């Protein structure tokens, strides 16, 4: 009986894995179809995988695929090229992967065969990367490649009429004194050698499509949020006076790996005491002291999806009154902003609400003297919203009205750094401001607080993906007491 149960469990696990793989394959196919609709029949999209990066000497960083390449193929190995030609009769998608090299694979691991690349991506036509230049030269010269001429007839006609488009993900142009990115260098080489086309930036297509998550992506993002939430609570259990920040970081990142995450979605920020006032503090080297607040901004990179969660809590389990004063302002700012996060509103509206609440709170505590201007920026130094997904700061348009399927964060914060007063320009207005707020700054100095949750907009309303992580003062203190 026990053997039967073990076999049944294994079969169920394999079945679930197969279903998940099929779900991803179906989603990839649908994503490519939507990209084709945006491209138009006179276009060819060329998408390159990420490059391997050297960490030091002959050691590379662990490979992380380009987000857009993964979005369309699900392939996470380097030296991969995707070509999409919507106007073709049959070969609308062509994938190029590394040719087999048994000697190299002995050192660095298995490389997908053409058949495996098809199974993983759903792209039927697969060539090797050493064929790419020959393919591209033929197509841009109006010659067929591995198919009859009528296969490429639509694109060839556009070339002859100087209406063809080559679409690359290029991003904003660099300054004149900056080095050209690889995408710009590639575009220049094409324009130097061939004619009949213009080069267009396809970044806008991915920005618009990736902003609204598919049902499959929403499922994975929920799972990713669950893993990161468990990690945060493990970090809270590890935090105590006398422990080091890196101990909390280790407890958090262990949970990522335990649940099969690739790694962190961004370098963990674990800052205690005054370190909480450094927005991207990454050293994690300080020993935590009794009375410190600990700010932890961390999330795992799970199945190529990343959320973003920040919690701030006392390492001894009990907030002091000054800490409560500031914490309640930040918490209120987030909660009021959540009420504005509705279909049809914009993230800029959500951020504006956090500013409104924090201004009034700082004025009440004597940390600013005028809530009508920008004094609040002395202590609230960043935006409170951004999209999440394949990247922790995912692509999207903040001015686009919120819609079902969009996923984002709300992360207000207050950071009381005495040095901020010293760095103000020595104008009469600033000198007067410093004189009036100095006493309040002394009371609240070195306190940094950020509260950040990840959200998903659905047809039925806003869903807080990170809701299981203690957030209010009572929730945090009760959790810390029960460790």
How distant is the alpha carbon of residue 55 from its chain centre?
22
Mean pLDDT of the chain: 95
| 319-to-205, 397, 452 alpha-carbon distances in Å | 47, 38, 18
Strands 164-168 and 197-201: parallel
Q: What sign does the dihedral 457-460-466-467 (CA atoms) show?
A: positive
Question: For the segment 411-422, what is each residue's pLDDT rounded down to a tens digit?
Answer: 999 999 999 999
| pLDDT band per the 50, 70, 90 thresholds, residue 166 | very high
Cα 2 from Cα 337, distance rounded (Å):
53
Q: What is the pLDDT of residue 18?
A: 53
At residue 223, the pLDDT reads 98
User: Considering the domain 14-209 in this protein, what is its CATH number?
Assistant: 3.40.350.10
User: Per-residue confidence at 19, pLDDT binned at 50, 70, 90?
Assistant: low
Considering Cα of 80, then 81, then 86, then 88, what sign does the dihedral take? negative
Residue with tokens 């004194």: 177
* Same fold yes or no, 14-209 and 213-481: no
Q: Is the pLDDT of residue 378 over 80?
A: yes
Helix axes 473-481, 215-238, angle to 10 degrees: 60
- The answer to whether 39 touches 85, Cβ cutoff 8 Å, is no
What secondary structure letter does DSSP report for 71? Answer: H
Q: Say how many C-beta atoms besides its own lie within 10 A of residue 36's C-beta.
A: 18
Query: Domain 213-481, what architecture?
Result: Alpha-Beta Complex (3.90)
Taking residues 389-405, what's their average pLDDT?
Answer: 97
Residue 171: its pLDDT value, please? 87
pLDDT of residue 6: 45
Q: For residue 168, list its beta bridge partners.
A: 201
Please tell me the distance from the alpha carbon of residue 297 to that of residue 311, in angstroms, as a whole number: 7
Show the DSSP H helices in 40-129 as ranges: 67-73, 102-108, 114-121
- Judge whether 414 and 375 are in contact, CB under 8 Å: no
Sheet holding 263-264, edge to edge: 263-264, 300-302, 305-306
* Range in 2-16, 260-274, 366-380, 440-454 the model is least confident about: 2-16
Residue ranges per domain, the chain?
14-209, 213-481
Q: How far apart are CA 238 and CA 225, in angstroms?
A: 20
- Evaluate if residue 433 carries a pLDDT over 60: yes
Q: DSSP letter at 393?
A: S
d(CA 164, CA 46): 13
* Sheet of strand 269-272, all strands in order from the earlier edge strand to the far edge: 269-272, 293-298, 309-314
Cα 421 to Cα 444: distance, rounded to the nearest angstrom: 13
pLDDT digits (tens, 9 = 90+) for 26-53: 999 999 999 999 999 999 999 999 999 9
Q: Where are the alpha helices (DSSP H) in 194-318?
A: 203-211, 215-238, 245-258
Give the span between the Cα atoms of 303 and 41, in whole angstroms: 32
Max alpha carbon distance in the chain (Å)?
84
166 three-state secondary structure: strand
* Residue range 226-279, pLDDT digits in tens: 999 999 999 999 999 999 999 999 999 999 999 999 999 999 999 999 999 999
- Residue 451 near residue 213, CB atoms below 8 Å: no
pLDDT confidence of residue 20: 63
DSSP code string of 125-139: EEEEGGGHHHHHHHH
Q: Mention every residue, 6+ apart, whose C-beta is less than 8 A from residue 319.
A: 327, 473, 476, 477
Q: Which pLDDT band, with edges at 50, 70 and 90, does 483 fall under?
A: confident
Helix (H) or strand (E) holding 306: strand 305-306
């Amino acid at each position: 009986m026990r053997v039967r149960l073990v076999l049944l469990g294994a079969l169920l696990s394999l079945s679930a894995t197969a279903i998940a793989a099929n779900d991803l394959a179906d989603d990839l196919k649908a994503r490519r179809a939507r990209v084709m609709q945006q491209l138009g029949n006179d276009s060819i999209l060329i998408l390159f995988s990420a490059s391997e990066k050297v960490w030091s000497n002959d050691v590379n960083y662990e490979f992380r695929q380009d987000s857009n390449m993964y979005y369309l193929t699900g392939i996470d190995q380097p030296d991969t090229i995707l070509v999409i030609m919507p106007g073709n009769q049959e070969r609308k998608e062509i994938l190029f992967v590394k040719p087999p090299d048994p000697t190299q694979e002995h050192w660095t691991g298995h490389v997908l065969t053409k058949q495996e690349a098809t199974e993983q991506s759903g792209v039927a036509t697969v060539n090797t990367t050493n064929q790419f230049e020959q393919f591209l030269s033929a197509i841009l010269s109006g010659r067929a490649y591995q198919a009859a001429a009528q296969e490429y007839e639509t694109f060839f006609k556009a070339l002859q009429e100087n209406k063809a488009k080559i679409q690359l993900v290029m991003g904003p142009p660099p300054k004149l004194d900056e080095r050209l990115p690889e995408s710009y260098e590639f575009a220049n080489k094409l324009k130097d050698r061939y004619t009949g086309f213009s080069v267009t930036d396809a970044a806008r297509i991915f920005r618009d499509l990736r902003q609204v998550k598919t049902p499959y992506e929403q499922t994975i993002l929920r799972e990713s949020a669950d893993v990161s939430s468990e990690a945060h609570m493990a970090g809270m259990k590890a935090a105590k006076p006398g422990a080091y920040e890196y101990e909390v970081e280790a407890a958090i990142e262990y949970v990522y790996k335990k649940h099969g995450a690739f790694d962190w979605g961004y370098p963990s920020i674990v800052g205690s005491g005054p370190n909480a006032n450094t927005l991207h503090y990454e050293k994690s080297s300080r020993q935590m002291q009794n009375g410190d607040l600990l700010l932890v901004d961390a999330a795992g990179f799970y199945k190529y999806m990343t959320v973003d969660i920040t919690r701030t809590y006392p390492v001894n389990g009990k907030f002091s009154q000054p800490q409560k004063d500031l914490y309640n302002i930040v918490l209120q700012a987030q909660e009021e902003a959540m009420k504005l996060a509705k279909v049809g509103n914009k993230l800029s509206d959500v951020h504006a609400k956090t500013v409104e609440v924090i201004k009034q709170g700082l004025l009440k505590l004597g940390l600013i003297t005028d809530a009508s201007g920008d004094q609040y920026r002395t202590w609230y130094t960043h935006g409170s919203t951004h999209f999440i997904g394949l990247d922790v700061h995912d692509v999207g348009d903040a001015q686009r009205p919120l819609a079902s399927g969009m996923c984002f964060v709300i992360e207000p914060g207050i950071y009381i750094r005495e040095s901020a007063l010293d760095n103000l320009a020595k104008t009469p207005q600033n000198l007067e401001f410093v004189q009036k707020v100095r006493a309040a700054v002394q009371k609240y100095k070195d306190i940094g607080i950020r509260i950040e949750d990840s959200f998903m907009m659905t047809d039925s309303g806003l869903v807080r993906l990170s809701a299981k992580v203690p957030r209010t003062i009572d929730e945090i203190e009760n959790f810390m007491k029960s460790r």
